Amino acid sequence: MTSIDVAQRAGVSQSTVSLVLSGKGEGRVAAATADAVRTAATELGYHPNAAARTLKSGLSHTVGLVVPDITNPVFGLVLRGAQQAATAAGYTVILVDVARGDGEESVRALRAAFVDGLLVFAIAPPAAALGPGGPPVVLMDMPATDLPSVTLDLKGGVHAAMEHLLGLGHRRIAHLRADVPTPTFVARANAWARALLDAGIDPADDLIVGSLFSHTAARVAGRDLLQRSPRPTAVLCDDDVLAAGLLLAARDLGLTVPGDVSVVGFDDMPLAEMVTPPLTTVAFDVPLFGTRAFEVLLAHIRGDADAPRSTWLATRLVIRESTAPPPTS
């Protein structure tokens, strides 16, 4: 089947078929006509030839999304948001997981496949994504001076969490931080320290412990933290996985949450409501994060003069059962 067959079935011109099926018909083709074209294409089993379309337009209508760990539910929701926006614009999103350390080769393969742009949501951006002569790149949760970025309001989120804990009466508030020195986690650490300083509290080193990104590692780090003297009465964690590990550490030591120690996470993953007790956590609209990132990337792919360089996404604190006033003794 060809586009000529679709045009004949729908009773329109071949150029109209091309406009509709390339995603460029909005505002140029009547809605009823566009529906007739799509119906005819479905009935005939017609699919545009992607290779031919790429050669003709210079665009593949695909973008890559690079994430650090596909097993983390956050990145699945980011993909969902990006894919929904991409589908509406006639694009497809290809996912690359760089957790195994093969990110450079995977990203090079993407670039060789003529993707129109890259969304990079990785702890350390692959050099292959940032090299010269490549397609537009948008960084996610990694503010940069020379590349467009979509970033969370980390300072606002951490401030809300710390204000909540300080308001409950906590003064010895520890930080279980991701053991990765990237801008997003540096910003969280700085916001934690700033909140303590503003409250007249020393952000001492004995209130800090680092952990790899797994609940098992966080469980070990959490046991270390909770056995320090004096013990922290509250802990801010860099994400919900680390917070879940800390809950396990507290259980290992016979401590109750929030009776002995309050716990705050970050991301509001689905597990935040599944653990016991449910987590107080810093939340953001995860699918919207993917949507916004794709929209920014598409503006740069199209060469829009007003394409944004830096976009911020709001955060908010969701209060559940893992936080309470500190123990009296």
Give CA–CA dist 275/293, Å, rounded. Answer: 30
Q: Name the band, by pLDDT with cuts 50, 70 and 90, for residue 228.
A: very high
More confident residue, 135 or 93: 93
**HSE-CB for 132 with a 13 A CA cutoff:** 0
Give Cα separations from 293 to 84, 86, 137 (angstroms).
12, 10, 10
Task: Say if domain 3-48 classifies as CATH 1.10.260.
Answer: yes
3-state secondary structure 114-126: CCCEEEECCCCCC
Which tens digits make up the pLDDT trace of 234-252?
999 999 999 999 999 999 9
Beta carbons within 8 Å of 43's beta carbon, 6+ residues apart = 9
**Multiple choice CATH, 58-148+286-308, 3.40.50.2300, 3.40.50.10780, 3.20.20.70, 3.40.50.150:** 3.40.50.2300
Question: How many other C-beta atoms are found inside a 10 Å radius of the C-beta of residue 37?
Answer: 26
pLDDT surpasses 60 at 51: no
Which tens digits make up the pLDDT trace of 8-23?
988 998 888 888 877 6
Mean pLDDT of 71-99: 86
Please state which architecture CATH assigns to domain 154-284: 3-Layer(aba) Sandwich (3.40)
Contact assessment for residue 234 and residue 172, using Cβ atoms and an 8 Å cutoff: yes
| Closest CA relative to residue 233, chosen from 257, 254, 262, 209 | 262
Which tens digits make up the pLDDT trace of 122-141?
666 666 566 666 788 898 88
More confident residue, 59 or 75: 75
Give CA–CA dist 288/85, Å, rounded. Answer: 9
Within this chain, domains 3-48 and 154-284 share the same CATH topology? no
pTM > 0.85: no
The pLDDT, as a whole number, for residue 322 is 96
| Closest CA relative to residue 167, chosen from 6, 324, 327 | 324
Q: Which helix (H) or strand (E) holds 297?
A: helix 286-301
| Closest CA relative to residue 148, chosen from 301, 36, 15, 326 | 301
Which tens digits make up the pLDDT trace of 215-225?
899 999 999 99
Give CA–CA dist 8/273, Å, rounded. Answer: 54
Give CA–CA dist 159/188, Å, rounded. Answer: 9
Which tens digits make up the pLDDT trace of 146-190?
788 899 898 999 999 999 999 999 999 999 998 877 788 888 999
Mean pLDDT of 89-117: 74
List the chain domain ranges.
Answer: 3-48, 58-148+286-308, 154-284
How confident is the prediction for the chain on average, in pLDDT?
Answer: 86
More confident residue, 203 or 24: 203
**What would the two tokens of residue 192 be?**
């934690």
